C-alpha cells in the first residue's frame, strides 16, 4: 500500500521531499490546508462582489497592462486568456523527474491559503501528481521573475483541457486524459490563472533536484577521491586533524575526517612512501571538497525557505482583510544560489579530472595509462580526454545567469533574475560532474589492481567488488564507451556502505 503525505503548513525539508518522491508517496490535502484554501477563496469572492476598486491581475490586465480595468463579466475569460497567452515555452522538454517536483511544489505553495484558488483546482493538480500525469513543459521561456510564467502556463494548461501531457509513456492532448478519467476541465475563477502562473516552481524544482543530487555527488567525490588516493600510493598525513583544527572550516574538517574513515584498515595507506608530498588534487581534497560542501549547505538553506513559501502575486490575507501586490515571485535568491552551486559542483569535477590525469601519468609505479602493455594498448588514455572535455564545458556553464537582466512588459518588469537559465544549466552541471566522477572511479579501480596483493580499506574493497560486477579489469584495449556508461549507471544506484558520520 502506498504511503500518503498530507500537504499542510508544516515545515517541509528536502529530505522529506526525497522520501516522498523515492518512496512514491501519494499526496492529499490536510484538513487545515483545505480550510485555508477555501477561506481565502471565499474571502476573495466576497471582496470582488463588494468592490469596484482595481486589484492587480484580478480585475485588471497583467504586467504593464495593469492600467486596463476588466469588467466583472470578463474576469473568467481574463484568466483563461492569461493561461493561453503565457504558454510561450520552447526548447527541450523538462524531464519527468523535474515535472513531478514542480507539481508537488506548486501544490505546497497554493496550500498556504494566500493565493485565492478553488479547492478543486489544487485537488486536480494532486490528481495529476498521484496518477503520474506529467504536463509537457519546455525549458526555455522564463525570466525567473513575475514567476516562471511560461513554464507554469504549460504545467497548468491541462487543468483547462489545453496543452499536452505524458501519461503511461505516451504524449497525449490533455483533453483526452481528462476524458479518460471523466474529469471536467477546471473553470478558472478570478485570480486563479495568475496564482497558477506566478511562482518560482520551475526554478525551485530544478534547484531541489540538483541539491539532492549534489549531496549525493559530494559523498561520492569523497569516496572515489579516497580510492584514487590509495591507487596513487598517496599519503594520509594531509588529513590529520591537527592541520584542520588550525583552519577549522566546517566542510574542510568534515572532509578530512571522512577520508580518514574511508581509508581505515587500508594496507596501502600505511605502506612506506618514497615521496614526501602529493599533488594538490590529492593533498587538498579537504580544502576543495569541503568548500563545495559549504556551498551545498547554503543552497539547501535558501531552497528550504523557498519551498515553504508563497510565491505568487498578489498575496491575499483574509485575516487582515488585505490584498497586496508585491514581488515574492522574484527568483533572485534562487538564481544566485544556483549559480554558486554550479561553481561548487564544477570544482568537484575539476579536481576529479586532475586525479584521473595523475593516475594515468605512469607515476608511482603505475603503468602508463593504466594498462599492462602500453604502446600496443592505449589503455585509459582517452577516458581522461573525455573527462577534460566535460570539465571544460562545465566551466562554460558556470558563467552566472543571475548577473543578467533584460527588461520586459514595456519596462514594468524592469529587473529579472534569469534564475530559470541558472536552473537548467545547473541541471546539466550535475550530470556532467556525475560523468566525470564515474570516469575517475573507473581509473581508480583499475589502479588499485596494480597494487595487488596489497588491499585498500574494507569499505573501499567493497566498492571495488561491487564496481567489478559492472565493469571488469581491463587488460587489453576494448570499446571504453560501454564501460564509461556502465560506470555512470553504477554511480546512479551506488550508496557507500559506510555510514559516514558527517552529513553534508
Query: Among residues 56, 129, 134, 167, which one is catalytic?
Result: 56
Find where cell 568537484 sits: 348
CA–CA distances in Å: residue 204 to residues 125, 145, 166: 17, 13, 21
Asked if 114 and 315 touch (Cβ cutoff 8 Å), the reply is yes
DSSP string, 216-228: HHHHHHHHHHHHH
The residues, any chain, with a CB within 8 Å of residue 52's CB and separated by 6 or more, are: none
Between CA 385 and CA 370 the distance in angstroms is 15
Q: Is the dihedral of CA 39, 40, 42, 47 positive or negative?
A: positive
Q: Given phi > 0 = left and psi -120 to 50 = alpha, else beta, which region is 370?
A: left
Per DSSP, what are the bridge partners of residue 493?
none
User: Would you call 23 helix, strand, or coil by DSSP?
Assistant: coil
What per-residue string of b and e applies to 196-222 under the rule 16 or more CB within 10 Å gives b? Answer: bbbbbbbbbbbbbbbbbbbbbbbbbbb
Of 160, 106, 156, residue with least CA distance to 312: 106
Q: Given phi > 0 = left and psi -120 to 50 = alpha, else beta, which region is 462?
A: alpha
31 Cα distance to chain centroid: 30
Catalytic residue list contains 56: yes
Between CA 119 and CA 113 the distance in angstroms is 10
CA–CA distances in Å: residue 469 to residues 225, 250, 464, 490: 21, 36, 9, 10
Per DSSP, what are the bridge partners of residue 315?
324
The residues, any chain, with a CB within 8 Å of residue 211's CB and separated by 6 or more, are: 14, 296, 299, 300, 303, 341
What per-residue string of b and e applies to 383-403 under the rule 16 or more CB within 10 Å gives b? Answer: bbebbbebbeebeebbebbbe
H or E, element range at 233: none
Q: Which residues are catalytic?
A: 56
Amino acid at each position: 500500500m502506498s504511503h500518503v503525505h498530507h500537504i499542510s503548513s508544516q515545515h517541509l525539508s528536502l529530505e522529506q521531499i526525497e522520501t516522498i518522491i523515492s518512496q512514491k508517496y501519494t499526496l492529499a490535502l490536510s484538513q487545515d490546508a483545505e480550510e485555508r484554501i477555501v477561506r481565502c477563496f471565499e474571502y476573495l469572492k466576497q471582496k470582488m462582489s463588494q468592490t469596484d476598486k482595481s486589484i492587480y491581475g484580478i480585475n485588471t490586465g497583467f504586467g504593464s497592462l495593469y492600467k486596463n480595468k476588466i469588467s466583472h463579466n470578463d474576469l473568467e475569460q481574463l484568466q483563461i486568456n492569461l493561461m493561453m497567452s503565457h504558454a510561450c515555452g520552447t526548447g527541450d522538454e523538462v524531464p519527468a523527474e523535474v515535472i513531478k517536483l514542480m507539481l508537488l511544489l506548486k501544490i505546497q505553495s497554493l496550500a498556504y491559503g494566500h493565493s485565492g484558488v478553488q479547492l478543486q483546482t489544487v485537488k486536480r493538480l494532486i490528481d495529476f501528481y498521484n496518477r503520474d500525469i506529467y504536463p509537457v513543459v519546455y525549458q526555455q521561456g522564463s525570466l525567473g521573475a513575475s514567476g516562471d510564467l511560461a513554464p507554469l502556463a504549460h504545467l497548468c494548461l491541462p487543468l483547462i483541457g489545453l496543452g499536452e501531457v505524458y501519461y503511461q509513456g505516451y504524449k497525449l492532448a490533455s483533453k483526452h486524459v481528462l476524458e479518460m478519467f471523466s474529469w471536467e476541465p477546471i473553470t478558472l475563477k478570478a485570480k486563479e490563472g495568475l496564482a497558477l502562473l506566478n511562482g518560482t516552481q520551475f526554478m525551485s524544482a530544478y534547484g531541489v533536484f540538483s541539491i539532492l543530487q549534489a549531496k549525493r555527488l559530494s559523498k561520492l567525490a569523497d569516496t572515489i577521491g579516497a580510492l584514487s588516493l590509495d591507487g596513487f600510493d598517496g599519503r594520509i598525513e594531509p588529513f590529520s586533524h591537527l592541520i584542520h583544527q588550525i583552519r577549522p572550516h566546517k566542510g574542510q574538517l568534515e572532509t578530512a575526517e571522512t577520508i580518514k574513515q574511508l581509508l581505515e584498515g587500508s594496507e596501502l595507506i600505511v605502506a612506506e612512501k618514497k615521496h614526501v608530498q602529493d599533488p594538490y588534487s590529492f593533498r587538498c581534497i579537504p580544502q576543495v571538497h569541503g568548500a563545495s560542501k559549504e556551498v551545498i549547505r547554503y543552497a539547501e538553506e535558501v531552497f528550504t525557505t523557498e519551498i515553504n513559501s508563497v510565491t505568487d502575486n498578489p498575496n491575499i490575507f483574509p485575516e487582515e482583510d488585505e490584498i497586496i501586490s508585491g514581488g515574492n515571485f522574484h527568483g533572485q535568491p534562487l538564481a544566485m544560489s544556483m549559480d554558486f552551486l554550479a561553481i561548487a559542483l564544477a570544482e568537484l569535477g575539476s579536481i576529479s579530472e586532475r586525479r584521473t590525469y595523475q593516475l594515468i601519468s605512469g607515476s608511482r609505479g603505475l603503468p602508463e595509462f593504466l594498462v599492462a602493455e602500453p604502446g600496443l594498448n592505449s589503455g585509459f588514455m582517452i577516458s581522461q580526454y573525455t573527462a577534460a572535455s566535460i570539465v571544460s564545458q562545465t566551466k562554460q556553464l558556470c558563467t552566472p545567469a543571475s548577473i543578467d537582466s533584460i527588461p520586459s512588459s514595456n519596462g514594468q518588469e524592469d529587473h529579472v533574475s534569469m534564475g530559470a537559465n541558472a536552473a537548467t544549466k545547473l541541471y546539466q552541471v550535475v550530470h556532467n560532474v556525475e560523468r566525470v566522477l564515474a570516469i575517475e572511479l573507473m581509473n581508480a579501480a583499475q589502479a588499485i589492481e596494480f597494487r595487488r596483493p596489497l588491499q585498500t580499506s574494507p569499505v573501499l574493497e567493497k566498492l571495488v567488488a561491487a564496481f567489478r560486477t559492472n565493469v571488469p579489469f581491463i587488460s587489453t584495449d576494448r570499446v571504453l564507451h560501454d564501460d564509461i556508461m556502465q560506470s555512470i549507471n553504477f554511480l546512479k544506484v551506488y550508496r557507500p556502505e559506510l555510514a559516514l558520520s558527517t552529513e553534508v
